[in-house]
Amino acid sequence: MQYEFTIVVPVFNEEDNLKRVETELSKYLKIATKKTKILFVNDGSKDKSQQIIEEICAKNTDFSYIEFKENKGLSAAITAGFKNVDTELVGYIDSDLQTAPEDFNLLLNEIGEYDLVTGVRANRKDSFVKNMSSTIANGIRRAFTHDGMDDTGCPLKVIKTEYAKKIPMFKGLHRFLPAMILLQDGKIKQIPVQHFPRIAGEAKYGLWNRLLGPLMDCFAYLWMKKKYINYEISKKS
């Protein structure tokens, strides 16, 4: 059976999480509603992440990877993943597994008439400061983008690949994926998904890049929205 769905897993210094990622995603592959494969994107990790990724891929035919020469950030890793998939659908999940792979099936059930379906983290298991800064940042972003999304930072999304490949790369991109689909006249939807506390590794975002950084990115988005060229090919030879 041909693959229908690729899950992109960005990785940066997650050596303590990767074995669990292998276990949980392997479990999901058995219950996935679409024929699914996994693509690790190693964003220039300095720990043993690459070694573990290669070990995982060597023994699992449904797993593959690409590795950056140096760290370029989450948005670059996501974009590179999107550019390197060949399935009709693409999704992504963070390697900290604070969201559950099995919830991809909830998103896949809705993707038919939509071009992006994103999760909304229900009962978030983060600290008060992290939850509050995310709430404020999401409110600011909604005021700029009018995308109607409550939790664009949720690391669980499914997108039609033809739309994902047209998203231009810029830092902070991962917070604007629904808005970038709207620029293509696509349809978006959000649904509640599970959320769990981080078990291992360290969070990569602090107050600055969770709150003040996104505010600066909003101005970049407004510029891009003004300049964005949307087109649809009617015929080709």
Question: Whose CA is closest to 41, among 7, 86, 77, 84?
Answer: 77
The larger pLDDT score, comparing residue 236 to residue 189, is at: 189
Question: DSSP letter at 115?
Answer: S
Assess if residue 236 is contained within a domain. no
Assess if residue 175 is contained within a domain. yes
Q: What is the mean pLDDT of the chain?
A: 86
Assess if residue 192 is contained within a domain. yes
Assess if residue 120 is contained within a domain. yes
Question: Whose CA is closest to 120, among 66, 182, 178?
Answer: 178
Give pLDDT, residue 203: 59
User: For residue 109, is pLDDT > 90?
Assistant: yes
Is residue 122 very low, low, confident or very high in pLDDT (cuts 50, 70, 90)?
Answer: confident
Is residue 210 very low, low, confident or very high in pLDDT (cuts 50, 70, 90)?
Answer: low
Average pLDDT over residues 38-65: 97
Domain with 92 in it: 5-227
Assess if residue 162 is contained within a domain. yes
User: For residue 188, is pLDDT > 80?
Assistant: yes
User: For residue 174, is pLDDT > 70?
Assistant: yes
Query: Would you list the DSSP string of 138-206?
Result: HHHHHHHH----S-TT-SEEEEEHHHHTTPPP-TTGGGSHHHHHHHTT--EEEEEE------SS--S--
Give pLDDT, residue 212: 63
Assess if residue 237 is contained within a domain. no
Assess if residue 232 is contained within a domain. no
Residue 233, Cβ density class (10 Å: 0-12 exposed, 13-18 middle, ≥19 buried): exposed
Task: Using a pLDDT cut of 70, give the percent of the chain over it.
Answer: 83
Lookup result for tokens 């919830």: 103
Give pLDDT, residue 195: 78
Two tokens at 1? 């059976």
Assess if residue 188 is contained within a domain. yes
The larger pLDDT score, comparing residue 64 to residue 171, is at: 64
The number of domains in the chain is 1
User: For residue 83, is pLDDT > 90?
Assistant: yes
- Which domain CATH number covers 176? 3.90.550.10
Is residue 125 very low, low, confident or very high in pLDDT (cuts 50, 70, 90)?
Answer: low
For residue 90, what are the β-bridge partners?
6, 159
User: For residue 225, is pLDDT > 90?
Assistant: no
Q: Would you give the end-to-end CA distance of the chain in angstroms? A: 29
